[in-house]
């Protein structure tokens, strides 16, 4: 494996499979235990560097690092020297001087983790950069699919919604393709990025036509906070054309599952009754996130320094 | 006072390279350890509250294999104990990779499975099973892992081969064969489940 995890393309098929297998073994080893802690990363320091608001990803990484006995330092831009104007590079050098073995970074600028990787000696894990990538989310999604359906090869995954602003979609397309799944993107034309034709995925605009041929439907959050123009006429119209409600869910094959990276806009891209149905893996995805992030931290930080 | 000079570590005598145990030897050794386990289970658990109808103490026994080759060895021991006594004993595996003290000295390795019997290991007689006892560090890691998994009544150790050169105060309770080796030698255990054939070989050289 490479020293950093910056984008889904850093993982070839063997590496990605190793991460998923390791996560499965860790989950199995911790299942039903009272002491959910492993001594593996004792004495190592992991810094969570969050320039953007996040609840589940930061907590998930924090829990993963703590379960491996690493020391965790949480750094959020609010209330830190960043609000006094410190640059990313100076912050990185400060962390370097304090001896961070791993840096988990979330930043609103696409590519920030790549820059950071040139400045620090430790491993950098991208926890979401702008509208670019979120590789650990793609790993936990792949893990969830494999867990539920028993395989990834040939699984038909449909990703629906705000692809334009979604780092989750981009990472998932790359990783799922690496692992042999077939990905279809469905979105209003205004919410597809330029150059989507070159992605290793089919593109469609009619959700109802694709649903019967989907083993997995992944609904994306409509990212209102990143929308600086009107991409669709109204929430109601978006919901009618691209939202997943009970009627559409009924069109899915029997064993198909419904995923969402969270946080959800209930009633917008996903109806409450769908989110709470047995097909929904949304809560499972959160739990799997901890195992997958433990696997990533173990594989990047567990061995000898390279 | 003059100290006796320490004997030079190398070259120590070691064993002649070649086959140490054949398939038939391996089977015999496993049979013998199975008999010893049956005997000792009765004495270790004597006086404790055994479930009604179990005078053998075997119901409290859990054989826990250390992957890779300890796992099939544990299953074989359980099968022989069942053949000799008619009682099915619980079997598990515990992966020690995440508990190793040499993680930082080597590259990361893939994990193996950890499976414990449904009832857990609390208050039971756990016998760790491994193929080769060498430095004792694997066993220490396994003991650390067990501490996180529960609180056994007692823990014992069964190994197919004890090759010496301990680096920790650890000894085995059941030993298939004691083999004097030099540090430069390799002891390779092959089992049908993992390698297609049962045998134990001694080879020269540090290669791994």
- A21-30 residue pLDDT tens: 999 999 999 9
Do both A266 and A144 map to the same domain? yes
Instruction: Order the strands of the A182-186 sheet from edge to edge.
Output: A202-204, A182-186, A156-160, A216-219, A257-259
Residue A6 CB: number of other CB atoms within 10 A? 22
Give me the residues paired with residue A107 across strands. A129
Instruction: Name the token pair of A41.
Output: 């990363």
Does A18 reach chain B within 8 Å, measured CB to CB? yes
Domain B25-41+57-179: CATH architecture, name and number where available: 3-Layer(aba) Sandwich (3.40)
Tell me what the mean pLDDT of segment A79-102 comes to: 84
Query: In this structure, is residue A213 part of a structural domain?
Result: yes
Do both A99 and A170 map to the same domain? no
- Cβ contact, residue pair A303, B99, below 8 Å: no
For the ranges A296-300, B5-9, B16-20, the maximum mean pLDDT occurs at A296-300
Do both A222 and A160 map to the same domain? yes
Tell me what the mean pLDDT of segment A143-157 comes to: 97
Per CB-CB distance under 8 Å, the chain B contacts of A32 are 120
Confidence at B201, pLDDT banded by 50, 70, 90: very high
The shortest CB-CB distance from A303 to any of B103, B112, B150 is to B103
The shortest CB-CB distance from A28 to any of B103, B108, B113 is to B113
Instruction: Name the token pair of A174.
Output: 């790359």
- Cβ contact, residue pair A304, B99, below 8 Å: no
Tell me what the mean pLDDT of segment B164-187 comes to: 95
Chain A residue nearest residue B111, CA to CA: A22
Contact, B132 vs B208, CB < 8 A? no
- A52-65 residue pLDDT tens: 988 899 999 999 99
Stated as kind and residue range, the H or E segment containing A66 is helix A56-67
- A175-193 residue pLDDT tens: 999 999 999 999 999 999 9
Using CA atoms of A49, A133, A54, A32 in order, give the dihedral in degrees to the nearest 10.
Answer: -90
Res B1: pLDDT:
46
CATH of the domain at A120: 3.40.50.1370
- B120-173 residue pLDDT tens: 999 999 999 999 999 999 999 999 999 999 999 999 999 999 999 999 999 999
Do both A119 and A23 map to the same domain? yes
Which pTM does this prediction carry? 0.89
Averaged pLDDT score across all residues of chain A = 93
Q: Is the confidence at residue A306, as pLDDT, over 80?
A: no
Does B193 reach chain A within 8 Å, measured CB to CB? no
Does A14 reach chain B within 8 Å, measured CB to CB? no
Query: In this structure, is residue A3 part of a structural domain?
Result: no
What does the alpha-carbon distance between residue A262 and residue A61 come to, in Å, rounded to a whole number? 16
Res B50: pLDDT:
54
Do both A129 and A56 map to the same domain? yes
Do both A203 and A226 map to the same domain? yes
Which of B108, B117, B143, B147 to mutate against chain A (most A CBs within 10 Å)? Answer: B108
Do both A14 and A126 map to the same domain? yes
Res A256: pLDDT:
96
The shortest CB-CB distance from A33 to any of B104, B107, B149 is to B149
For chain B, count helices (H), then strands (E). Answer: 4, 8
Do both A104 and A20 map to the same domain? yes
Distance of CA A96 to the CA centre of its chain: 26
Does A237 reach chain B within 8 Å, measured CB to CB? no
The shortest CB-CB distance from B108 to any of A21, A29, A303 is to A303
Averaged pLDDT score across all residues of chain B = 88
Do both A76 and A36 map to the same domain? yes
Question: What is the tally of structural domains in chain A?
Answer: 2
What does the alpha-carbon distance between residue B43 and residue B52 come to, in Å, rounded to a whole number? 17
- B69-91 residue pLDDT tens: 999 999 999 999 999 999 999 99
The lowest-confidence range among A81-95, B72-86, B169-183 is A81-95
Confidence at A68, pLDDT banded by 50, 70, 90: very high
Contact, A93 vs A100, CB < 8 A? no
Chain A residue nearest residue B148, CA to CA: A35
Res B45: pLDDT:
67
Give the residue extent of every domain in chain B: 25-41+57-179
Do both A129 and A16 map to the same domain? yes
Which comes out higher in pLDDT, residue A231 or A295? Answer: A295
Tell me what the mean pLDDT of segment A4-16 comes to: 97
Task: Note which residues in 52-91 of chain A have CB less than 8 A from chain B.
Answer: 68
Do both A141 and A227 map to the same domain? yes
ipTM for the complex shown: 0.79
Chain A residue nearest residue B141, CA to CA: A39
Tell me what the mean pLDDT of segment B32-44 comes to: 91
Which of B99, B111, B149 to mutate against chain A (most A CBs within 10 Å)? Answer: B111
DSSP conformation letters of A125-189: EEEEETTTB-HHHHHHHHHHHHHHHS--TT-EEEEES--TT-HHHHHHHHHHHHTT-EEEEE--G
Query: In this structure, is residue A2 part of a structural domain?
Result: no
Contact, A152 vs A145, CB < 8 A? yes
Res A34: pLDDT:
80
Res A304: pLDDT:
75
The shortest CB-CB distance from A29 to any of B95, B105, B106 is to B95
Confidence at B8, pLDDT banded by 50, 70, 90: very low
Query: In this structure, is residue A306 part of a structural domain?
Result: no
Q: How far is A20 from chain B (nearest CA, A)?
A: 11
The lowest-confidence range among A106-115, A227-236, B18-27 is A227-236
- A259-280 residue pLDDT tens: 999 899 999 999 999 999 999 9
Res A57: pLDDT:
95
Q: Is the confidence at residue B48, as pLDDT, over 70?
A: no
- A94-130 residue pLDDT tens: 888 888 999 999 999 999 999 999 999 999 999 999 9
Do both A183 and A124 map to the same domain? no
Distance of CA B48 to the CA centre of its chain: 25
Domain that holds residue A205: 135-281
- Cβ contact, residue pair B111, A303, below 8 Å: no
């Amino acid at each position: 494996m490479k020293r950093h995890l910056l984008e889904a393309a850093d993982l070839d098929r063997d590496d990605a499979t190793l991460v998923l297998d390791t996560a499965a073994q860790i989950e199995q080893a911790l299942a039903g235990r009272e002491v959910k802690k492993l001594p593996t990363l004792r004495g190592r320091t992991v810094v969570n560097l969050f320039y953007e608001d996040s609840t589940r990803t930061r907590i998930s990484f924090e829990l993963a690092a703590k379960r491996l006995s690493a020391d965790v330092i949480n750094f959020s831009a609010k209330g830190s020297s960043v609000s006094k104007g410190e640059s990313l590079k100076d912050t990185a050098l400060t962390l370097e001087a304090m001896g961070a073995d791993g840096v988990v970074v979330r930043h609103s600028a696409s590519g920030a983790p790549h820059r950071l990787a040139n400045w620090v000696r430790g491993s950098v894990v991208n926890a979401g950069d702008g509208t670019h990538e979120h590789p650990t989310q793609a790993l936990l999604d792949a893990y969830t699919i494999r867990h539920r359906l028993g395989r990834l090869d040939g699984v038909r995954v449909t990703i629906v919604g705000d692809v334009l602003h979604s780092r989750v979609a981009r990472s998932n397309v790359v990783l799922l393709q690496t692992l042999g799944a077939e990905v279809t993107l469905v979105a209003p034309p205004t919410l597809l990025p330029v150059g989507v034709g070159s992605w290793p995925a089919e593109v469609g605009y009619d959700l109802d036509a694709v649903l019967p041929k989907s083993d997995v439907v992944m609904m994306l959050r409509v990212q209102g906070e990143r929308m600086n123009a009107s991409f669709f006429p109204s929430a109601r119209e978006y919901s009618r054309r691209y939202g997943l409600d009970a009627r559409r869910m009924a069109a899915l094959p029997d064993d198909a599952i419904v995923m969402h990276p969270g946080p959800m806009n209930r009633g917008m891209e996903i109806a409450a009754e769908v989110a709470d149905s047995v097909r929904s893996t949304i809560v499972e995805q959160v739990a799997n996130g901890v195992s997958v992030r433990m696997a990533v931290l173990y594989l990047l930080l567990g061995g000898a320094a390279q | 006072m003059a100290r006796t000079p320490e004997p030079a570590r190398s070259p120590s005598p070691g064993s002649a390279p070649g086959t140490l145990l054949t398939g038939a030897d391996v089977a015999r050794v496993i049979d013998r350890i199975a008999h010893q386990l049956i005997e000792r289970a009765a004495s270790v658990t004597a006086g404790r509250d055994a479930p009604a109808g179990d005078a053998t103490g075997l119901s409290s026994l859990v054989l826990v294999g250390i992957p890779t080759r300890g796992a099939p060895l544990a299953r074989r021991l359980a099968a022989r104990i069942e053949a000799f006594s008619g009682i099915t004993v619980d079997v598990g595996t515990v992966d020690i990779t995440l508990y190793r003290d040499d993680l930082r000295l080597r590259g990361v390795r893939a994990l193996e499975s950890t499976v414990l019997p449904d009832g857990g290991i609390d208050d039971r007689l756990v016998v760790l099973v491994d193929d080769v006892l060498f430095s004792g560090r694997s066993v220490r890691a396994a003991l650390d892992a067990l501490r996180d998994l529960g609180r056994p009544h007692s823990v014992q150790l069964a190994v197919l081969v004890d090759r010496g050169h301990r680096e920790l105060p650890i000894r085995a309770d059941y030993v298939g064969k004691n083999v004097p080796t030099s540090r430069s030698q390799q002891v390779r255990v092959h089992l049908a489940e993992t390698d297609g054939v049962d045998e134990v070989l001694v080879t020269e050289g540090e290669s791994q």
